[in-house]
Chains A and B, each alone.
Chain A
Amino acid sequence: MNILVCVKRVPAPGAKINVTEDGLSVDSAHLGFTTSPHEECALEEAVQISERDGGEVTVLTLGPVEAEEQLRYGASVGAHHIILVPTDGSAWDPQRTAAALTTAIEQAEQANGQPFDLILFGNESADSGGFQVGVRVALKLGRPSVNAIKGIDPGDGSVIARREIDGGFEVYEVPTPAVLGIKEGINLPRYPTMKGRLASKKATLETAEIAAEPGGQALIRLHRPPEQASTTEILGTDETAAVRIVDILEEIGVLA
């Protein structure tokens, strides 16, 4: 089973996110970058499937040239091929992103002489969270898609996909080739080994320059939500605070 994983380079935030002066991006001056968490798990899932059942894993990203870092990371944890669709570094809207990714995927499939059995996306990106690029790509390619997947069991000509719902899972049987939106929790992603890191430096980076027209959604400005003017009431500094805590639980009616 050959699997393509589409990933996105995003800042790795800590306790706070600041915005640049022009309001168009996250101030990443003091932040590192990472692969969006759902996609990191999608990649791990693809690598696990290829280790178990054979086949190759390709990682594709659309982003600034620096996103090569996330592709090399993908190679370090087991991806066989890496493809970059470079942008000028500005944030592309979902329609534009989906159009360019579709072209890149069609080119890769043409070069391979066959479609990817599975294309995995993160359920949504950690930053812009548009909840749609995977669905758009699936429809452009004419393939079925299901989101929020937290379990994949590959079969012959189809995959069993488990979608998280409140208190359990829905089970789908999706014919391949298919597109799935993956959620964190499907697995625990590995850390790269030293051997993997070294090998990733030698991985061949393919670059696909693709132009695409902007869509109808435009970013005007990012800003932080107004701080809730909350004052924290300190109930105590040792376990005697338990009395006051239980008073509160009684007051708000959660204690029968």
Chain B
Amino acid sequence: MSLLVVLEHDRGKWVEANDEALTAARKLASDMGVELHAALVGVGARDLVSQAATGGAAVVHLCEHEVLTDYGPDAVGETVAQLVASINPSAITAVGTSRGNEVLAQLAARADLPFVANCMTVAPSDGPWSMTRVQWGGSLLEDATLDAPTKVLSFGHHSVVAEVADAPGAGEVREFAPALDPAMAATIVRDRDVQTAGVTLSTAPVVISGGRGVGSAEGFDQLEELAELLGGRVGCSRAVTNLGWRNHTDQVGQTGTRIAPEIYIATGISGAIQHWVGAMASKRILAINTDAEANMVTKADYAVIADLHKVVPAITAEIRRRQG
């Protein structure tokens, strides 16, 4: 009896979401009273075995095949489906990143099993399981049940705080060679187009966003200046993207980027649900808005009820003054 956690990596580079996946999986495996197994798939996975063991995996299934030269939803999904058929775990989980949910959807479709995405809490039992999952990007929660011979579910990204395992797992390596149709290479990543080197919106320690209240595309210059001083990134609301003031890659929200900075400075943003769910994982929120009743203001830790066009330059000036 085991719980299988599917880990991800970028050509052999560990991704932070794995720490969340292992944290959630350790607890779930303990609640189920089963052993924790991890799956690592593709080129470069071999280098990550010890990290999976440190995260609590008793067994690490190392899945390699010549088709698996990089990530590809069909090839990785089929590999995991074959592994599951071979080792027959009681449940399979991952963290609900773009890839995590895609691979579990692939697995579930191939194995004809239900798949519950983006759970917050999971209560295993001998019969159907109960869980609370995310709807509307986190604005609503859904209590659901999962009735299946093998349970497939993901945990919402950022819904679990990563913790270090009390004790490492044995990390026994078991090689698994899937039988893959070479045609599956069709959906393997061909190339990459890296546009932002260094700190990105989702990893920035400081994010300074502007909403409709910024007034124009040029109005974002002052936010850029402050962001540069703080080593942060500029974000925006959906309204701003729709107005064409900023590129969608800067959009914070349910359909944009989900951020988790040390501090989020939201200027001229009213805080519609769509925006809030992308910002709510921020450690602290400072809202700068002329409207004291704005949703963003009432939900923020700190607020300044004033015109952002006066406050933002004043912050920049104050930082410059202190830095001499």
- Chain B 241-267, CB-CB to A under 8 Å as 1, else 0, gives 110100111010011100000110000
- Chain A 216-254, CB-CB to B under 8 Å as 1, else 0, gives 111111111100101011111111111101101110111
Measured between alpha carbons, how far is A238 from B231 in the docked complex, in Å? 25
- Return the contact of A239 from the options B136, B203, B306 (Cβ within 8 A): B306
User: B177 on the interface (CB 8 Å rule)?
Assistant: no
A23 to chain B, nearest CB (A): 8
A230 touching B301, Cβ below 8 Å: yes
- The tally of residues in A whose CB lies under 8 Å from a CB in B reads 87
- Return the contact of B117 from the options A132, A171, A234 (Cβ within 8 A): A132
Q: Which of B26-34, B52-60, B140-148, B165-173 is near enough to bind chain A?
A: B140-148
B304 touching A235, Cβ below 8 Å: yes
Q: Given A15-B272, A185-B251, A185-B256: A167 and B306 within 8 A (CB)?
A: no
User: Chain B contacts of A255 at CB under 8 A?
Assistant: 230, 319, 322
User: B211 on the interface (CB 8 Å rule)?
Assistant: no
From B287, which residue of chain A is reached at the shortest CB distance?
Answer: A232
B140 touching A232, Cβ below 8 Å: no
User: Chain A contacts of B298 at CB under 8 A?
Assistant: 232
- Return the contact of B231 from the options A145, A246, A256 (Cβ within 8 A): A256
User: B114 on the interface (CB 8 Å rule)?
Assistant: yes
User: B220 on the interface (CB 8 Å rule)?
Assistant: no
Measured between alpha carbons, how far is A253 from B283 in the docked complex, in Å? 13
User: Chain A contacts of B318 at CB under 8 A?
Assistant: 242-243, 245-246
Measured between alpha carbons, how far is A19 from B306 in the docked complex, in Å? 34
Q: Given A131-B117, A246-B315, A254-B205: A236 and B105 within 8 A (CB)?
A: no
User: Chain B contacts of A237 at CB under 8 A?
Assistant: 304-306
Measured between alpha carbons, how far is A166 from B231 in the docked complex, in Å? 17
- Chain B 289-307, CB-CB to A under 8 Å as 1, else 0, gives 0001001011111111110
B144 touching A139, Cβ below 8 Å: no
B145 touching A139, Cβ below 8 Å: no
A230 touching B144, Cβ below 8 Å: no
User: Chain B contacts of A238 at CB under 8 A?
Assistant: 306, 310-311
User: Chain A contacts of B319 at CB under 8 A?
Assistant: 246, 249, 255
Which residues of B, 189-203, contact A by the 8 Å Cβ criterion?
A: 189-197, 200, 202-203
Measured between alpha carbons, how far is A127 from B299 in the docked complex, in Å? 22
- The tally of residues in B whose CB lies under 8 Å from a CB in A reads 99
- Return the contact of B96 from the options A37, A131, A230 (Cβ within 8 A): A131
User: Chain B contacts of A254 at CB under 8 A?
Assistant: 205-206, 230-232, 262-263
B118 to chain A, nearest CB (A): 6
A218 to chain B, nearest CB (A): 5
- Return the contact of A242 from the options B109, B113, B130, B317 (Cβ within 8 A): B317
| Consensus secondary structure, chain B interface | mixed
Measured between alpha carbons, how far is A232 from B241 in the docked complex, in Å? 28
Q: Given A131-B117, A245-B286, A252-B262: A13 and B139 within 8 A (CB)?
A: yes
User: Chain A contacts of B317 at CB under 8 A?
Assistant: 242
B190 touching A232, Cβ below 8 Å: no
User: Chain A contacts of B36 at CB under 8 A?
Assistant: none
B262 touching A224, Cβ below 8 Å: no
B192 touching A218, Cβ below 8 Å: no
Measured between alpha carbons, how far is A240 from B307 in the docked complex, in Å? 12
A162 touching B193, Cβ below 8 Å: yes
User: B224 on the interface (CB 8 Å rule)?
Assistant: no
User: A1 on the interface (CB 8 Å rule)?
Assistant: no
User: Chain B contacts of A241 at CB under 8 A?
Assistant: 304, 306, 311, 314
From A216, which residue of chain B is reached at the shortest CB distance?
Answer: B114
From A148, which residue of chain B is reached at the shortest CB distance?
Answer: B98
B249 touching A185, Cβ below 8 Å: yes
User: Chain A contacts of B145 at CB under 8 A?
Assistant: 217-218, 220
Q: Which of A54-62, A172-180, A201-209 is near enough to bind chain B?
A: A172-180
User: A76 on the interface (CB 8 Å rule)?
Assistant: no
From A36, which residue of chain B is reached at the shortest CB distance?
Answer: B255
User: B48 on the interface (CB 8 Å rule)?
Assistant: no
User: B155 on the interface (CB 8 Å rule)?
Assistant: no
- Chain A 156-197, CB-CB to B under 8 Å as 1, else 0, gives 000000111111111111110000010111001000000000
Measured between alpha carbons, how far is A125 from B80 in the docked complex, in Å? 25
Which residues of A, 117-161, contact B by the 8 Å Cβ criterion?
A: 123-124, 126-132, 135-136, 138-140, 144-148, 150
Measured between alpha carbons, how far is A26 from B105 in the docked complex, in Å? 25
User: B186 on the interface (CB 8 Å rule)?
Assistant: yes
B256 touching A145, Cβ below 8 Å: no
User: Could you pull out 20 A-B pairs where Cβ atoms are within 8 angstroms?
Assistant: A17-B139, A17-B140, A37-B255, A38-B255, A126-B254, A129-B135, A135-B102, A135-B109, A139-B110, A166-B202, A170-B189, A172-B187, A185-B251, A230-B299, A233-B303, A234-B302, A234-B305, A241-B306, A248-B284, A252-B283
Closest 8 CB pairs of A and B: A185-B248, A216-B114, A242-B314, A132-B105, A239-B314, A131-B101, A167-B196, A168-B194
Besides A136-B109, A252-B262, 9 other A-B contacts (C-beta < 8 A): A15-B270, A16-B273, A16-B295, A130-B115, A146-B187, A168-B195, A184-B255, A237-B304, A239-B314
